[in-house]
Structure 1
Amino acid sequence: MRKIALISLLALPLFAGFFPSTVQTSVSAIGKKSVSLSSALPVNGMSGVIVHNYGNELEAIISYLTQTSSEGTAKLLKTDIIHHDELPTIKTAVSPGDKVIGGYLYNNVLLLAPDADTYAKITASNSKKWIHPDLYALFLSEEGEAIPTKENLAAFAKAYQVGLIYIVKNGSAVLLDPISGNIVGQKTMTGLPDKAQYPFYMRFDKIQTGWFSKSAKGDYYKTMEKI
């Protein structure tokens, strides 16, 4: 009886405050343009990976998905599977019974904050693997871009295995899933600074995007609202 109760609890959507939890379920059925999950993910718009078991303890990620309804319907995402030069390209079709990990890498979070104080308070109060914004600033510089966009955040997330983007806006905070491009968490915030570092808090004066870079001038909050 205790085992049955435990299984029931594990099947429920789990939340840890602001952050959706990483959960495991499976594919129960395949449709023409969607799949059905054995149990729904905690939040609509949440992405996940589909893992196929080939036997002999060999598993591989074969696809990404995002949940589209609270009944556990999800669509497959047209995004590259994790690439490795030494491994062949995976072309296995999704099948019923394949494992699904919703919120894959959600513990790895990039925080875009207005200043050092806000950054320190948020990272100190949440137990996550924080990806420092300095890495993102360097990435933007290498890509020749000066400000965050959904597109370059998705590219950065793929390169650095980031699961969530925590964005502090003017009076609120949101969690962006860079794989699905959807907001999967939102809350109000107070005590934010009127004057913010542009384009976001980092330990560089500005992002160097070329000889005529103007990235040191702008409005942080307006930039975050455009993502």
Structure 2
Amino acid sequence: MKYIILVLVLALQLSAGVVKSPLISVDEKSNIATIKIDKIDVGMSGFISHKIAEDHTVILKNILVTDFDAKSKTATLKMSTYDALRNNALPSGRWTVAIGDEAILAFGYTRGTLISPNEEIYHRITRSVKDLQWVHPDIFATILSFNGHPTPLREDFTKLSISTSVGLVFIYLEEKLFTIDAKSFKILTITDAQLKQDSTQLPFYTRIEKIEAAWWGEGSNELESYEPYYYELLTEANPNNKELQKIVNNFKAKASK
């Protein structure tokens, strides 16, 4: 039970609210901006809001926290094209990011999806976390079926985030719960969650009986193993995470035996 309590505390911290801070510097050529903030996690994503008139703002860029200097309390943001709201019938405008524009981070962190190996683990975790709005994995399975991906790809998680405003993805692997920013797929925390795993459902627990497959292409094959694949996804997105590397190396050592 103590591990579930840890998960609960974690969720409460991450879903505490949206983080807002004005930009203190902007480098359009390198797509880098900075903000002053007391504390922020590397890997958090968000967007930049630009005021165009009284009570009217426009979103200009996606942002990702790539570095945080605790001494100077300065966070570095990597900017990229904002693609969550596309409409070819609307004008794009010629606004550019400027000092004073507002960085909005942790947007959607009150909504999460849990990738778990079976129904029991899914319910034990989600029922213990009350202040997070859970988006059922059935919705993700429907997105996968529409895309023809029985094996989830990184891009599928991005589409889940955009279409359902999910900010956090939780993945349960070998008695640990990985908390991930849904858009960047960067690991925010790794928490112990020692729950008994008697069975594994592929590609994850869902009540959808069959995820439709495309005729060809990446993601079109059925997922053959749970832990190795999700470890691979996490490693690709977090190549410098030493804690993850240690966990994966231990898993490989056990598998080889």
TM-score (norm 2): 0.74
- The one-letter amino acid paired with 1:129 is Q
2:56 aligned with 1:27: no
Partner of 1:122: 125
3-state SS of 1:48 partner: strand
CA RMSD of aligned residues (A): 2.3
TM-fit CA distance, 1:111 = 1.1
Aligned length: 211
**Distance of 1:185 and 1:211 partners within structure 2:** 37
Structure 2 vs 1, CA of residues 49 and 172 (structure 1 numbering), >3 Å: closer, same or farther? Answer: same
- The one-letter amino acid paired with 2:10 is G
**Distance of 1:79 and 1:146 partners within structure 2:** 28
2:137 aligned with 1:136: no
Equivalent residue for 2:205, pick from 201, 204, 212:
201
**Distance of 1:90 and 1:188 partners within structure 2:** 47
The 8 Å contact of residues 23 and 41 in structure 1, kept in 2 or not, is answered as: no
Alignment map for 1:1-227 (pairs within 5 Å):
17-18=10-11, 19-20=13-14, 21=16, 22-31=18-27, 32-33=29-30, 34-39=32-37, 42-71=40-69, 72-84=75-87, 87-126=90-129, 127-209=131-213, 215=222, 218-227=224-233
**Distance of 2:185 and 2:118 partners within structure 1:** 25
TM-fit CA distance, 1:140 = 0.7
The 8 Å contact of residues 52 and 98 in structure 1, kept in 2 or not, is answered as: yes
Partner of 1:5: none
TM-fit CA distance, 1:122 = 1.6
Identity %: 26
- The one-letter amino acid paired with 1:131 is V
Name stretches of at least 5 consecutive residues in structure 1 with no aligned partner.
1-15
Structure 2 vs 1, CA of residues 214 and 80 (structure 1 numbering), >3 Å: closer, same or farther? Answer: closer
Structure 2 vs 1, CA of residues 196 and 90 (structure 1 numbering), >3 Å: closer, same or farther? Answer: farther
